[in-house]
Amino acid sequence: MTGEISLRGLVLPVGGIKEKVLAARRAGIKTVCLPARNEKDFEDVPEDTQKAMRFLWMSDIDQVLREALGIRELKLKPSPETPAGTGRISASAEFGP
């Protein structure tokens, strides 16, 4: 995964997509997660690389975590040990295909 994430969990666009994808391919990586807002830069990636790799276009952190960690379902809820309104959460996840 390459990119930046906002405080609200949005995946932000980044530069150098072609170079990052080519470096990933040289390293033997088969699947690359990229910011959805960089999809327009995909045309700069050589066609043979486009066909040889799997590209996932991410728009929020939930998508990134599900893919990167293999989570089937991510459940977020207010944390029971913190006062209401503090913005803290706890998470539980189900892993697997």
pLDDT in tens, 1-59: 667 899 999 999 999 999 999 999 999 999 999 999 999 999 999 999 999 999 999 99
CATH of the domain at 14: 3.30.230.10
Question: Rounded to an integer, what distance in angstroms lies between the CA atom of residue 79 and that of residue 81?
Answer: 6
The DSSP bridge partners found for residue 31 are: 54
Q: Which domain holds residue 24?
A: 4-69
Query: CA distances (Å), 45 to each of 22, 35, 97, in order?
Result: 8, 15, 30
Residue 94: pLDDT over 80: no
Does residue 85 lie in a domain region?
no
Report how far residue 66's alpha carbon sits from residue 33's, in angstroms, rounded to the nearest whole number: 11
